Amino acid sequence: MSDGLQAPLSGRAFRDAFGAFATGVAVVTAAGPDGPVGLTTNALTSVSLDPPLFLVCFAKDSRTLPVVRDAGRLAVSILRSSQESMAARFATKHEPEHKFHGIVLDDLAGVPAIAHAAAVIVGEITEIHSGGDHDIVVLRCTDVRSDPDAEPLLFVHGRFGG
């Protein structure tokens, strides 16, 4: 690392640096008035054990975000390595009916979730903070389900896989 003058930080450099931080991949879903909505995310982290809080970051122009705000609740389905096509599908700007076409959903405490996910975490929104071009949604976890033997889908250096 140089301690001299820094060039303006490019979005590419920022993404590349964070790309070295391997994450899982999840689909966030919520129940809207016209059916389920959802998007792919990896901006997900646990925040607190007592009370059990976690956060999810949404781009402010996400079409899923306003539905999530109104619903007040969402499910995070953490994907298995075999569910990569689902991650790609929910990362598109297609209409929700298209995203969910043929997708098998579970109902966890009244919230739609992706069936056969490695884990599902359901939460109620407690706070929303603005963070640049994203909103940071903090939730209190109300229900969880997980398969400790599931092999998770990974995302690193901008690619799915290990």
Contacting ligand FMN (CB under 6 A), which of 15, 46, 63, 127? 63
Q: What is the largest CA-CA distance in the chain?
A: 55
Does position 39 interact with ligand FMN (CB under 6 A)? The reply is yes
Contacting ligand FMN (CB under 6 A), which of 29, 30, 31, 40? 40
Does position 43 interact with ligand FMN (CB under 6 A)? The reply is yes
Does position 83 interact with ligand FMN (CB under 6 A)? The reply is no
From residue 72, give the alpha-carbon distance in Å to each of 28, 31, 59, 143. Answer: 13, 10, 17, 14
Q: What is the 3-state secondary structure (H, E, C) of 83-101?
A: HHHHHHHCCCCCCHHHHCC
Does position 55 interact with ligand FMN (CB under 6 A)? The reply is no
What is the contact surface with ligand FMN in residues (CB under 6 A)?
25, 39-43, 57-59, 62-64, 87, 90-93, 155
